[in-house]
C-alpha cells in the first residue's frame, strides 16, 4: 500500500490529457450532449419520485410507530385495501413512464440514425478495430494506420463530423470516451458505427468498456481533437512511410532481423505484420502500451525489455535483448516520427 | 373429502441425545423432510455468502488506491467472476429454494412438499454443482494458463469464452457447475408449483394463500421458464468448446450476440427470481409488525404476476450498446420502464400497510424499513438505466455496479436478513438477540450505503467495470476510498450477525409457537415444528387463519 | 400462543368439496413446459442461422426428408394412446401388443435417424463442426433424439416389468404420465421436422 502511495506521488497519467476527468455531466460533443439532456430529464423525474416517496415512507414510519405506553393488545383498524388508491398510484406512474418513453424514443432515433453528411470531404471516416488490449485505428481515405490515439478534426457547424466504423479482431470491446459519446461495442463479425463532433480542441481520455480479458483495465484510448489545419498536417505526416534516418541504420537492420517484424508493421520496411500496433509513426503518440507508459526513451527501453512488467498478460513477449541490442532498437524507434 | 396428502403419523421420535453422531449425520444426509432440506439450503447459502463476501472485500481493497498491487490482474478477474457467480447461483438460488422449501408447506397447511425425494435430489445436485465450480480452483486453468477458477465474468460473454481466448478448463467448470446446479433449481421449481397447486389445506383457495406463497409460486414459474435458456446456452458453449460447434464462433458466421441474447433472456428474469424472496418476506413481516393486514392483497398478487410475465420481455436492456436498431432499443427501453410500475406499486402497498398501524421496530422490521428506501433508490436507478440514451453512458460502468448492488444487497440481502431474524425462532425454537441484531442492522446500513452510494458517482465520472486498477488523476480516488471503507464496515456487520446466530442457537430465549403474534399457519405449530408439521390438517376460512382464531368477534372472513 | 387448537370447520359447512389437482399431473405438465423452453431455444438458434453458413454442405444438398421415420414416430403416439386405453380397461394382452408396437415404431425412428446421420457424416462430410447448418442441425435433431432415447428407455422398463409379471394396471397413472411425455416428444418432432426439413431446406 505504501508503495502505491509513493508511486502515486511520482506517477501521473502518462501523457496527461486535459480531459482526463471524464465527467458525463460535461459533454463536449453532440451525442454526449443529447444523452445528457435525457439524463437530466430522467434524473429530475426519478429524483422527485425519490424525494416524495421516500419522504412518505419515512413519515409513515415515524408517525405510526408504536408509542411507549400503548397497550400491547390494542390492534389498529384493519384496513384491507382501496381500489381507488390502487388505481391512482398505478395510473400516475404509467403516465410518467409514457413521458420517459416518448422522450427516449426521440433521442434514440436522433443519436442512432444521425447520418453524416454525404460528401466525403467534410466527413471523416475512421475504422476502429479492437484487439486484446489495444486499439487499431485506420483512416481509409488517407491510407493511415496507427494505434491507441485517434486524431479528429474539430467540427465546425456540420463539417468534419467523425464517423466511426467499429470492428473487432478477437473478443468484444467497447468504445467509451464519456465526454464525446455514449458507448458502442466492438463485436467480432459485426460492424457497428458511432459518430462524434467535438466542437473544441482537446485531448479526451477513454477506456475500453467491455471486459475483454486480463488487461481490459489498461486498454486506454485518447481522442485528440485538433483544428482542421493541424489535423491535415498530422494526417499527411502519418500517411508518409517511415522516416529512414541513416544514423539509425544499424538499429533498423536489427529490428528487421528480429521477430519484431512478425507482429509489427513499419511502412516502408520489411515489417508488414498487423498482429501488434503499427509502429510507423510511433513517436507521434503520447503513450506506449495503450496508455500504460508515457512515450519517453527510458520507458520505451523498459517496455521492450519486459512488457510483462508493465502490462502483465499482454501479448507481447519479453524480447530478451542484450543491452546493446536494446539501445540500437530504441534508437531506431526514436526516429520514427 | 379432501384430496390432501395424508401421511401416516410417524412413531414418536427419540430425543436427540439418544442418537449417535453417525445416526444424526445420516438423518441430515438422507432426509427428505422439507424443513431439514430448507435448513441445509440456507446453511449452504450462508457459507458461500461468507466466502464470496471475502472475495468482494479483497476486490475493494485492491481498488482502494490507484495502481494498487494487492492482487494480480488475473487473480482480480477470477475474483469478480467467482464473486458474481457465487452470489447469484450459490447464495441467491439456495435462499430461494431454502425459504420456499421450509415455509411453503407450513404456510399452506401441508405435511411436506409435493415431491419430497425430488426435493432431496435437488439439494444434493445443487451442492454438487457448487462444488464442481469451486473444484476449478485446483482443477482448471484460465485465460493465461495460470490460475484456475474461471475469469470470464459471471455472464461469460462469447467469444471471450471460446477455446481460443479461454484456454484450459476453467470456463468448462463454470458452465458445468451452473448447468448441474440448475437442474436442482428446476427440480425445486416444479416441486413448489405442484405443492402450491395441489397441497393446500381445505378452505385455502388461491386468494387465501399467504402472499409469501404467492410470490414464491410466481418465482418458481420464472425459474421454470428462465433457467432453460441459460442451460441451453451453456450446452451450446460446451459444444462449441469441445465438439467444434459454431454457435458463437464468429469466424464461421456464428454470432457473439446470440450468447448475449440467450444469457440475458435468463439473466433478467433471474434478478427478479432473486429479489422475490425479499418481496415475499416483506409481505409477511410488514403486516405483522404494523399490526395491519397487507394493504391491497389482490393488487399485490396482480403486481407479482405482472412482473412474472413482463420481466420475460425486457432482457435486451443489458445490450443497448451492441448496436441494435433504434426500434429495438426503444422497445426494450419502454418495456424496462413498464416493469418498474408493478414494483413501484408494491412499495406503495407496503407503505400503505404501515400507514395507520402501530409499528414495532424489532430487527426484522428494521431490515424491511431499510429495504424500502434502498430498493426505492435501486428501482429508480434502474429506470435511469432503462432509458437507453442515458444507459449509453452508464452501461458497463460503476453506476451499473451500484444499481445492482442496491437491488441485490440493499434489497435481497436485507430482505434475507429480515426473513432470517423473523423465522429463526420458528426454526430453532429460540429468539435471536435483539441488541446484537441492532448492531448488525446499523453497521449494515452504514457500511452498505457507504460502499455503494459513491459508486454511482464513479459511474458518472467514467469509471468502467471490471478493471483491476485505475490511473490517478481521473477523479476516481476519493470515491473508491470511501467505498472500501464502507465494505470494511459491512465486514464487521456480518461478524455481529455470525456471533448472533451462534449465541442465539446456544442460549437464545425460548420462542414458543408464536413469538411475533402473527397470523399465518406456520405460527400454529410448535417451534421447531415436528416432522409431520400439523397433527390435524387445518381448515381455513380466510387469508389470516390465526387472526380469525385470536379475534373470533372480528374475523377476516367477515369482510372478504 | 402455545398449543393452539385449530377449530376445524365441519365438512358440511364448506361450500364445495375440496378437490385439488393431482400433484403428479401438475408435476409432469410443468416439466413438459420446461422442456419446451429448452427446445424453443434450439429451434430459435436453428431459425436464426438458416442460410448463414459460410461454406457447404447446405441443407438442400444433403437433407432427405425422413417421411417413413416421421410416420412411424407419429403413429407411435397413436399406438401408445391405444395401449393406455387398453390398460384402463385392464386388457393386459392388448396393452402389451400396443406397447410393443410403440417401442418398435420408436426404434424405427431412432434407427432411421442413426442411418441418416451416418450418411451425413461419412458421405456428405457434415459434422457439428463443419458449418452453422451442421451445428444447429445436429444439436436440434440430437436434442430431440436424446429425448426419444430417454422415452424409449422408460418404455422398455415398463415392458420389462410387465413381462416379468408385475401388475402394471396398478400403475395406470404413471403409465399415463409416460404416454404424455411420449406425446410431447412427438409434438416436438412436428416442430423440428417443419423447421429443419420444410422451412430450412
Judged against a pLDDT cut of 80, whether residue B532 lies above it is answered with yes
B275 Cβ contact partners less than 8 Å away, ≥ 6 residues apart: B407, B408, B411, B412, B415
pLDDT at C15: 60
- Segment B225-232 mean pLDDT: 97
Whether omega for the bond prior to residue A189 falls within 30 degrees of 0, making it cis, is no
- Show the DSSP H helices in B140-210 as ranges: 170-198
ipTM of the modeled complex: 0.92
Tens digit of each residue's pLDDT (9 = 90 or more) over B57-88: 999 999 999 999 999 998 999 999 999 999 99
Q: Are strands A123-131 and A161-168 parallel, antiparallel or unpaired?
A: parallel
Judged against a pLDDT cut of 80, whether residue A54 lies above it is answered with yes
Same domain, A43 and A139: no
- Check if C127 contacts B (Cβ < 8 Å): yes
Cβ-Cβ contacts under 8 Å, B77 against chain A = 211, 213-214
- Segment A185-190 mean pLDDT: 94
Judged against a pLDDT cut of 70, whether residue B300 lies above it is answered with yes
- Inter-chain residue contact B228 with C37, CB threshold 8 Å: yes
Q: Nearest C-alpha of chain C: how many angstroms from B187?
A: 9
CB interface of A with B, residues 53-72, below 8 Å: 53-54, 56-58, 60-61, 64-66, 70
Instruction: Name the DSSP letter for residue B71.
Output: S
CA atoms within 13 A on the CB side of A48: 7
Closest residue in B to C5 (Cα) is B524
What chains are in contact with C, requiring at least 3 Cβ pairs below 8 Å?
A: B
**A315: in domain:** yes
Could you identify the residue written with the cell 544514423?
A247
Statement: B37-558 belongs to CATH 3.30.9.10: no
C-alpha cell at A23: 465527467
Judged against a pLDDT cut of 50, whether residue B534 lies above it is answered with yes
CB interface of A with B, residues 242-301, below 8 Å: 291
Residue B489 near residue B450, CB atoms below 8 Å = yes
Please report the beta strands in C52-193, taking only residues with DSSP state E, as ranges in sequence order. none
Tens digit of each residue's pLDDT (9 = 90 or more) over B379-401: 999 999 999 999 999 999 999 99
Instruction: Name the DSSP letter for residue B296.
Output: T
- Inter-chain residue contact B1 with C18, CB threshold 8 Å: yes
What chains are in contact with A, requiring at least 3 Cβ pairs below 8 Å?
A: B
pLDDT at B430: 96
**Can you give the pLDDT of all 201 residues of chain C as single tens digits?**
333 445 555 544 556 678 899 999 999 999 999 999 999 999 999 999 999 999 989 999 999 999 999 999 999 999 999 999 999 999 999 999 999 999 999 999 999 999 999 999 999 999 999 999 999 999 999 999 999 999 999 999 999 999 999 999 999 999 999 999 999 999 999 999 999 999 988
**A22: in domain:** no
Q: Given A239, A258, A280, which residue is the final one in a domain? A: A239
C-alpha cell at A243: 522516416
Of C1, C27, C34, Cβ closest to residue B114 = C27
Q: Nearest C-alpha of chain A: how many angstroms from B207?
A: 13
Q: Nearest C-alpha of chain A: how many angstroms from B488?
A: 16
Q: Nearest C-alpha of chain B: how many angstroms from C177?
A: 15
Judged against a pLDDT cut of 60, whether residue A233 lies above it is answered with yes
Could you identify the residue written with the cell 524507434?
A333
Closest residue in C to B240 (Cα) is C129
C-alpha cell at B14: 427419540
Same domain, A88 and A124: no
Same domain, A233 and A285: no
C-alpha cell at B243: 465438439
Cβ-Cβ contacts under 8 Å, C16 against chain B = none
Q: Nearest C-alpha of chain A: how many angstroms from B192?
A: 27
Cβ-Cβ contacts under 8 Å, C6 against chain B = 524, 534, 536, 538-539, 545, 549
Residue B272 near residue B340, CB atoms below 8 Å = no
Phi-psi region of B246 (alpha: psi -120 to 50; beta: other; left: phi over 0): alpha
Whether omega for the bond prior to residue B528 falls within 30 degrees of 0, making it cis, is yes
- Inter-chain residue contact B356 with A215, CB threshold 8 Å: no
- Inter-chain residue contact C48 with B255, CB threshold 8 Å: yes
- Inter-chain residue contact A176 with B462, CB threshold 8 Å: yes
Closest residue in C to B245 (Cα) is C129
Cβ-Cβ contacts under 8 Å, B68 against chain A = 1, 4
Residue count of chain C? 201
pLDDT at B21: 87
Cβ-Cβ contacts under 8 Å, C52 against chain B = 253
Q: Nearest C-alpha of chain C: how many angstroms from B2?
A: 5
Residues A272, A275, A281, A282: is their CA dihedral positive or negative? negative
**Dihedral angle of Cα B237, B238, B244, B249, to the nearest 10 degrees:** 10
Residue of higher predicted confidence among B32 and B11: B32
Size of interface B-C (CB pairs under 8 A): 142
Tens digit of each residue's pLDDT (9 = 90 or more) over A58-86: 999 999 998 887 766 688 989 999 999 99
Report the distance separating Cα C144 and Cα A64, nearest Å. 60
Categorize the per-residue pLDDT at B13 as very low, low, confident or very high, splitting at 50, 70 and 90.
low
For an interface test with A, the pick among B248, B389, B396 (most A C-beta atoms closer than 10 Å) comes out as B389
Give Rg (Cα) of chain C.
22
Q: Shortest CA distance to B470 belongs to which of A298, A219, A133?
A: A219
Which of C154-168 are b and which e, b meaning 16 or more Cβ less than 10 Å from the residue's Cβ? Answer: ebeebbeebeeeeeb
Of the listed ranges B18-27, B178-187, C136-145, C187-196, the least confidently predicted one is B18-27
Question: Where do the domains of chain C lie, and which CATH numbers do they carry?
Answer: 71-201 (1.20.120.80)
Cβ-Cβ contacts under 8 Å, B255 against chain C = 48
Same domain, A253 and A319: yes
Q: Do chains A and B touch (3 or more CB pairs under 8 A)?
A: yes
Same domain, A93 and A127: no
For an interface test with B, the pick among C11, C15, C20, C50 (most B C-beta atoms closer than 10 Å) comes out as C20
CA atoms within 13 A on the CB side of A326: 16
Whichever domain contains A266, its CATH number is 2.60.40.420
Cβ-Cβ contacts under 8 Å, B376 against chain A = 50, 53-54, 57
**A59: in domain:** yes
For chain A, give the longest Cα–Cα distance. Answer: 99
- Indicate the helix (H) or strand (E) that contains A162: strand A161-168
Closest residue in C to B510 (Cα) is C2
Report the distance separating Cα C56 and Cα C58, nearest Å. 5
- Indicate the helix (H) or strand (E) that contains A152: strand A149-153
pLDDT at B200: 95
Judged against a pLDDT cut of 70, whether residue A121 lies above it is answered with no
Of A13, A24, A61, Cβ closest to residue B473 = A13
Residue count of chain B? 560
Q: Are strands A123-131 and A293-294 parallel, antiparallel or unpaired?
A: unpaired
- Angle, helices B363-386/A30-63, rounded to nearest 10 degrees: 160
Q: Whole-angstrom distance between the N-terminal and C-terminal Cα of chain A?
A: 38
- Inter-chain residue contact A104 with B255, CB threshold 8 Å: no
Which of A257-266 are b and which e, b meaning 16 or more Cβ less than 10 Å from the residue's Cβ? Answer: eeebbebbbb
pLDDT at A119: 54
Of C6, C21, C129, Cβ closest to residue B538 = C6
pLDDT at A70: 72
Q: How far is CA A109 from CA B317, B328, B388, B395, in A?
A: 16, 11, 11, 18
Q: Nearest C-alpha of chain C: how many angstroms from B356?
A: 26
- Angle, helices C172-193/C67-88, rounded to nearest 10 degrees: 160
Of the listed ranges A71-75, B254-258, B345-349, B507-511, the least confidently predicted one is A71-75
pLDDT at A8: 47
* Average pLDDT for chain B: 93
pLDDT at B2: 38
- Inter-chain residue contact A60 with B468, CB threshold 8 Å: no
pLDDT at A111: 81
pLDDT at B118: 97
Of B341, B348, B349, Cβ closest to residue A94 = B341
Of B74, B369, B387, Cβ closest to residue A61 = B369
Instruction: Name the DSSP letter for residue C119.
Output: I
Name the residue range of residue A85's domain: 30-66+81-112
Categorize the per-residue pLDDT at A156 as very low, low, confident or very high, splitting at 50, 70 and 90.
confident
What percentage of chain A has pLDDT greater than the value 90?
70
**A44: in domain:** yes
Same domain, A46 and A134: no
- Inter-chain residue contact B299 with A56, CB threshold 8 Å: no
- Segment B527-533 mean pLDDT: 92
Of B337, B395, B559, Cβ closest to residue A101 = B337
Residue B96 near residue B280, CB atoms below 8 Å = no
Report the distance separating Cα C2 and Cα B545, nearest Å. 15
* Count of domains forming chain A: 3
Q: Do chains C and A touch (3 or more CB pairs under 8 A)?
A: no
Judged against a pLDDT cut of 50, whether residue B158 lies above it is answered with yes
Of C4, C128, C129, Cβ closest to residue B549 = C4
Q: Nearest C-alpha of chain A: how many angstroms from B345?
A: 7
- Inter-chain residue contact B243 with C129, CB threshold 8 Å: yes
Which pairs count as long-range contacts for B335-339, CB under 8 Å and 24+ apart, including other chains?
Answer: B335/B310, B336/B382, B336/B383, B336/B385, B336/B386, B337/A97, B337/A100, B337/A101, B337/B383, B337/B386, B337/B387, B338/A97, B338/B310, B339/B307, B339/B310, B339/B311, B339/B314
Same domain, A202 and A259: no
Judged against a pLDDT cut of 50, whether residue A117 lies above it is answered with no
Q: Is the pTM here over 0.90, yes or no? A: yes
What values do phi and psi take at C102, rounded to 5?
-60, -45
Question: What is the residue-wise DSSP string for B330-354?
Answer: HHHHHHHHHHHHHHHHHHHHHHHHH
pLDDT at A72: 66
Cβ-Cβ contacts under 8 Å, B384 against chain A = 39, 42-43, 46
- Check if C19 contacts B (Cβ < 8 Å): yes
What chains are in contact with B, requiring at least 3 Cβ pairs below 8 Å?
A: A, C
Amino acid at each position: 500500500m505504501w508503495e502505491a502511495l509513493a508511486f502515486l506521488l511520482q506517477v501521473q497519467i502518462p501523457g496527461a490529457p486535459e480531459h482526463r476527468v471524464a465527467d458525463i455531466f460535461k459533454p463536449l460533443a453532440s451525442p454526449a450532449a443529447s444523452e445528457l439532456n435525457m439524463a437530466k430529464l430522467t434524473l429530475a423525474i426519478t429524483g422527485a419520485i425519490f424525494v416524495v416517496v421516500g419522504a412518505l415512507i419515512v413519515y409513515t414510519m415515524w408517525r405510526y410507530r408504536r408509542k411507549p405506553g400503548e397497550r400491547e393488545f390494542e390492534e389498529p383498524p384493519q384496513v384491507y385495501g382501496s381500489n381507488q388508491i390502487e388505481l391512482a398510484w398505478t395510473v400516475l406512474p404509467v403516465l410518467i413512464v409514457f413521458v420517459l418513453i416518448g422522450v427516449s424514443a426521440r433521442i434514440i432515433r436522433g443519436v442512432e440514425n444521425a447520418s453524416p453528411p454525404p460528401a466525403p470531404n467534410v466527413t471523416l471516416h475512421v475504422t476502429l478495430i479492437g484487439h486484446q488490449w489495444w486499439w487499431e485505428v485506420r483512416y481509409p481515405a488517407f491510407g493511415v494506420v496507427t494505434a491507441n490515439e485517434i486524431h479528429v478534426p474539430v467540427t465546425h457547424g456540420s463539417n468534419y463530423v467523425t464517423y466511426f466504423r467499429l470492428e473487432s479482431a478477437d473478443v468484444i470491446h467497447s468504445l467509451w470516451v464519456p465526454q464525446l459519446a455514449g458507448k458502442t461495442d466492438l463485436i467480432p463479425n459485426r460492424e457497428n458505427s458511432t459518430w462524434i463532433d467535438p466542437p473544441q480542441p482537446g485531448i479526451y481520455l477513454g477506456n475500453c468498456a467491455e471486459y475483454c480479458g486480463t488487461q481490459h483495465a489498461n486498454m486506454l484510448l485518447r481522442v485528440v481533437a485538433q483544428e482542421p489545419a493541424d489535423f491535415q498536417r498530422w494526417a499527411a505526416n502519418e500517411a508518409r512511410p517511415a522516416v529512414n534516418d541513416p544514423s539509425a541504420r544499424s538499429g533498423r537492420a536489427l529490428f528487421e532481423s528480429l521477430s519484431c517484424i512478425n507482429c509489427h508493421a513499419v511502412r516502408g520496411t520489411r515489417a508488414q505484420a498487423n498482429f501488434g500496433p503499427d509502429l510507423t509513426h510511433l513517436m507521434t503518440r503520447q503513450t506506449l502500451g495503450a496508455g500504460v507508459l508515457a512515450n519517453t526513451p527510458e520507458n520505451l527501453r523498459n517496455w521492450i525489455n519486459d512488457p510483462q512488467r508493465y502490462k502483465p498478460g499482454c501479448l507481447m513477449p519479453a524480447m530478451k535483448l542484450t543491452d546493446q541490442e536494446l539501445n540500437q532498437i530504441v534508437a531506431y524507434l526514436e526516429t520514427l516520427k | 373429502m379432501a384430496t390432501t396428502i395424508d401421511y401416516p403419523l410417524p412413531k414418536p421420535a427419540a430425543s436427540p441425545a439418544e442418537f449417535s453422531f453417525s445416526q444424526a449425520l445420516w438423518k441430515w444426509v438422507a432426509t427428505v423432510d422439507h424443513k431439514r432440506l430448507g435448513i441445509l439450503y440456507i446453511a449452504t447459502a450462508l457459507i458461500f455468502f461468507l466466502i464470496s463476501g471475502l472475495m468482494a472485500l479483497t476486490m475493494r481493497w485492491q481498488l482502494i488506491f490507484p495502481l494498487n498491487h494487492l492482487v494480480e490482474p488475473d487473480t482480480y478477474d477470477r475474483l469478480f467472476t467467482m464473486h458474481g457467480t457465487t452470489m447469484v447461483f450459490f447464495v441467491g438460488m439456495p435462499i430461494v429454494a431454502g425459504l420456499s422449501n421450509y415455509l411453503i408447506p407450513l404456510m399452506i397447511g401441508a405435511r411436506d412438499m409435493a415431491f419430497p425425494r425430488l426435493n432431496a435430489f435437488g439439494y444434493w445436485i445443487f451442492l454438487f454443482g457448487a462444488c464442481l465450480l469451486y473444484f476449478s480452483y485446483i482443477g482448471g486453468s484460465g485465460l493465461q494458463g495460470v490460475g484456475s477458477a474461471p475469469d470470464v465474468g459471471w455472464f461469460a460473454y462469447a467469444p471471450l469464452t471460446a477455446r481460443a481466448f479461454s484456454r484450459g478448463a476453467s470456463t468448462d467448470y463454470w458452465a458445468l457447475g451452473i448447468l448441474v446446479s440448475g437442474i436442482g433449481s428446476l427440480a425445486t421449481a416444479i416441486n413448489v408449483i405442484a405443492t402450491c397447486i395441489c397441497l393446500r389445506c381445505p378452505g385455502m383457495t388461491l386468494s387465501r394463500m399467504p402472499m409469501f406463497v404467492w410470490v414464491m409460486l410466481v418465482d418458481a414459474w420464472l425459474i421454470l421458464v428462465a433457467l432453460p435458456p441459460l442451460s441451453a446456452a451453456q450446452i451450446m458453449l460446451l459444444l462449441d468448446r469441445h465438439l467444434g460447434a459454431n454457435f458463437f464462433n464468429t469466424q464461421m458466421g456464428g454470432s457473439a450476440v446470440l450468447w448475449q441474447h440467450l444469457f440475458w433472456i435468463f439473466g433478467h428474469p433471474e434478478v427478479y427470481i432473486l429479489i422475490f424472496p425479499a418481496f415475499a418476506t416483506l409481505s409477511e413481516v410488514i403486516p405483522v409488525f404494523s399490526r395491519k393486514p397487507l394493504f391491497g392483497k389482490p393488487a399485490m398478487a396482480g403486481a407479482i404476476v405482472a412482473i412474472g410475465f413482463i420481466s420475460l420481455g425486457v432482457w435486451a436492456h443489458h445490450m443497448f450498446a451492441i448496436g441494435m436498431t433504434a426500434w429495438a432499443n426503444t422497445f426494450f427501453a419502454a418495456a424496462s420502464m413498464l416493469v418498474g410500475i408493478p414494483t413501484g406499486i408494491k412499495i406503495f402497498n407496503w407503505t400503505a400497510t404501515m400507514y395507520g398501524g402501530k409499528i414495532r421496530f424489532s430487527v426484522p422490521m428494521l431490515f424491511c424499513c431499510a429495504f424500502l428506501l434502498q430498493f426505492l433508490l435501486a428501482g429508480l436507478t434502474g429506470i435511469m438505466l432503462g432509458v437507453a440514451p442515458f444507459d449509453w453512458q452508464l452501461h458497463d460502468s460503476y453506476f451499473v455496479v451500484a444499481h445492482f448492488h442496491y437491488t441485490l444487497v440493499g434489497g435481497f440481502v436485507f430482505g434475507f436478513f429480515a426473513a432470517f431474524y423473523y423465522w429463526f425462532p420458528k426454526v430453532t425454537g429460540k429468539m435471536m438477540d435483539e441488541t446484537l441484531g441492532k448492531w448488525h442492522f446499523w453497521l449494515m446500513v452504514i457500511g452498505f450505503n457507504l460502499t455503494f452510494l459513491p459508486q454511482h458517482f464513479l459511474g458518472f465520472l467514467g469509471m468502467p467495470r471490471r478493471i483491476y486498477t485505475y490511473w490517478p488523476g481521473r477523479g476516481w480516488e476519493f470515491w473508491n476510498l470511501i467505498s472500501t471503507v464502507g465494505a470494511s464496515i459491512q465486514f464487521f456487520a456480518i461478524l455481529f450477525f455470525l456471533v448472533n446466530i451462534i449465541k442465539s442457537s446456544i442460549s437464545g430465549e425460548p420462542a414458543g409457537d408464536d413469538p411475533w403474534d402473527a397470523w399465518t399457519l406456520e405460527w400454529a405449530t410448535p417451534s421447531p415444528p415436528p416432522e409431520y408439521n400439523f397433527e390435524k390438517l387445518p381448515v381455513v376460512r380466510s387469508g389470516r387463519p390465526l387472526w380469525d382464531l385470536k379475534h373470533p368477534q372480528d374475523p377476516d372472513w367477515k369482510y372478504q | 400462543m402455545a398449543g393452539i387448537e385449530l377449530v376445524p370447520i365441519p365438512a358440511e359447512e364448506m361450500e364445495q368439496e375440496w378437490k385439488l389437482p393431482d400433484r403428479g399431473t401438475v408435476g409432469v405438465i410443468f416439466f413438459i413446459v420446461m422442456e419446451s423452453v429448452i427446445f424453443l431455444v434450439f429451434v430459435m438458434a436453428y431459425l436464426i442461422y438458416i442460410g448463414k453458413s459460410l461454406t457447404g454442405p447446405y441443407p438442400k444438398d444433403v437433407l432427405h426428408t425422413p417421411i417413413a421415420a416421421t410416420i412411424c414416430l407419429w403413429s407411435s403416439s397413436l399406438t401408445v394412446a391405444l395401449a393406455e386405453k387398453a390398460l384402463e380397461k385392464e386388457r393386459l394382452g392388448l396393452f402389451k401388443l400396443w406397447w410393443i408396437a410403440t417401442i418398435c415404431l420408436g426404434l424405427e425412428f431412432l434407427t432411421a435417424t442413426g442411418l441418416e446421420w451416418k450418411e451425413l457424416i461419412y458421405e456428405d462430410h457434415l459434422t457439428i463442426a463443419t458449418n452453422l447448418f451442421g451445428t444447429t442441425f445436429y444439436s436440434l435433431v440430437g436434442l430431440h433424439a436424446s429425448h426419444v432415447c430417454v422415452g424409449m428407455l422408460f418404455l422398455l422398463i415398463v415392458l420389462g416389468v410387465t413381462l416379468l409379471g408385475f401388475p402394471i394396471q396398478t400403475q395406470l397413472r404413471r403409465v399415463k404420465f409416460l404416454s404424455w411425455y411420449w406425446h410431447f416428444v412427438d409434438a416436438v418432432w412436428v416442430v423440428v421436422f417443419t423447421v429443419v426439413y420444410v422451412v430450412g431446406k
